[in-house]
Amino acid sequence: MDFSWFKSLFEKISISFHWSKKNSPTTNTKIGTNIEKQLIINQGISPEQFHQINESVLKIVDDRINIYRETFKLDAKLVFNERLKDFKEFLLNRTHSLSELDYERFKEPDMQLKIIEATNLSGRISDSNRRELLANLVIRRIKNENTKNQELTDIVYNEAISTIDKLTLNQLKTIALCFLLHYTKHNNITSLKEMDNYFNKYIGPFLDIKKSESEFQHIVYSGCGSISIGSWDIVNIFKANYDYLLVKPFTNKELEVIGLDSDLQKLFFTQYEKTDNYLLNIIPYINIVSKAIFENIFFQNINENIIKKIYQLVQSHLENNADVKKIIETSTILGKQIIETVEKTKLQNLTLTSVGTAIASTYYEQITSDKINIALWIN
């Protein structure tokens, strides 16, 4: 299929400016007042003379304004076109990922209107990061791989595209941070060292946020989130997501109660040196709890009751919250900053809307080059 028309479409996009000249009574009145205050009247003048002086001064000022108006108009057009060019480059560089089926979606009137809207918005957005994000959202809207609920996802991305110019870079970082800490779990973390690496690479870029209430209020205004009285506890989230890193050792007697045979005990637990203590083998444990109700094709030969007993034993051996906080703060470079950022700001009260989730996940991908399956949250 020849897609040259698509490239030509964006290369020909331009914006026409139609600005009209308007006089401002307020400005004229203010200028007239200022001039009046500057007049030094040594001898009285007639109202007609004063009116002539006033009109002469106002004409000079008005002529000067007209000169600047044309200059500003030209400057604005140049800036707008530069931003538009930047956006089109971002967009065209991403079209290589589109399939023939994706290109068919350009026949949809809604898709065409949304591209036109995004094009107009791009000229108003002052920074390149947000223009790139706008292009990425358009590509996500075109591709929409959420086959479970495509209609809803289309609507969400339409709203996300319309919302970008309402958000600052700081607010983008804030909703991305909320999304990562509150709504996601990284499945490849199998040690505190890997947690440290994850924090540095994937959380760090979004951690330096402004913490004023007005920032969070504007996120609510934009439709990306809501602030509730209740809060989410970051320490409890760490315990739920990475429980296998935050457990105390087990005794042989406790393992005997579960009723594991010797092979299963060796699979899930390792004796610590020559003591009576056993440590959890993380990878097998992750595998058995990675799917709902402990269903996993690799462990179908293990009795479900045994799996539940292992899970319950691990949960009963979790460190308390104070110790979990200490472990994370001392074992990772950014752990303390992450916990304080949540606990001492409105971030702990922030929940994201579907639009906020779409924008946050797209911005996360843009900054980290990681991939997010949006269908996990919009279904």
Report pLDDT digits (tens) over 40-99.
445 556 667 666 666 666 666 666 666 656 666 777 788 888 988 898 899 888 888 888
Residue 153 tokens read as 């996802």
The dihedral region occupied by 319, where left means phi > 0, alpha psi between -120 and 50, and beta the remainder, is beta
pTM of the complete model: 0.78
For the cut 80, the answer to whether the pLDDT of residue 271 exceeds it is yes
The CA distance from 68 to 86, in Å, is 27
E strand residue ranges, 141-296: 225-227, 250-251, 269-271, 277-280
The CA distance from 91 to 143, in Å, is 13
Q: Which residue has the higher pLDDT, 162 or 77?
A: 162
Q: What is the pLDDT of residue 1?
A: 53
Residue (of 273, 200, 286, 290) closest to 247 by Cα position: 286
Residue 128's pLDDT band (cuts 50, 70, 90): very high
DSSP sequence for 134-186: HHHHHHHHHH---TTSHHHHHHHHHHHHHHGGG--HHHHHHHHHHHHHHH---
Residue (of 168, 105, 100) closest to 133 by Cα position: 168
Q: What is the pLDDT of residue 32?
A: 41
Residue 26's pLDDT band (cuts 50, 70, 90): very low
| Residue 42: count of CB within 10 angstroms of its CB | 5
Q: What is the pLDDT of residue 356?
A: 96
The CA distance from 233 to 230, in Å, is 10
Residue 283's pLDDT band (cuts 50, 70, 90): confident
Asked if 277 contacts 249 with a C-beta cutoff of 8 angstroms, the reply is yes
Asked if 270 contacts 256 with a C-beta cutoff of 8 angstroms, the reply is no
Indicate the burial class of 374 (C-beta count within 10 angstroms; 0-12, 13-18, 19 or more): buried
Q: What is the DSSP letter of 19?
A: -
Q: Which residue has the higher pLDDT, 237 or 39?
A: 237
Residue 302's pLDDT band (cuts 50, 70, 90): confident
Asked if 268 contacts 284 with a C-beta cutoff of 8 angstroms, the reply is yes
Indicate the SS3 state at residue 353: coil
Asked if 260 contacts 268 with a C-beta cutoff of 8 angstroms, the reply is yes
E strand residue ranges, the chain: 225-227, 250-251, 269-271, 277-280, 350-352
Asked if 13 contacts 88 with a C-beta cutoff of 8 angstroms, the reply is yes
Q: How far is CA 296 from CA 271, 302, 307, in A?
A: 26, 10, 11
Best mean pLDDT range from 5-9, 248-252, 333-337: 333-337
- Mean pLDDT, the chain, whole residue set: 81
Q: Which residue has the higher pLDDT, 206 or 265?
A: 206
Residue 291's pLDDT band (cuts 50, 70, 90): low
Report pLDDT digits (tens) over 218-245.
999 999 999 998 899 999 999 999 999 9
Indicate the burial class of 224 (C-beta count within 10 angstroms; 0-12, 13-18, 19 or more): buried
For the cut 50, the answer to whether the pLDDT of residue 18 exceeds it is no
Report pLDDT digits (tens) over 332-347.
999 999 999 999 999 9
First to last CA, the chain: 32
The dihedral region occupied by 279, where left means phi > 0, alpha psi between -120 and 50, and beta the remainder, is beta
Q: What is the pLDDT of residue 319?
A: 92
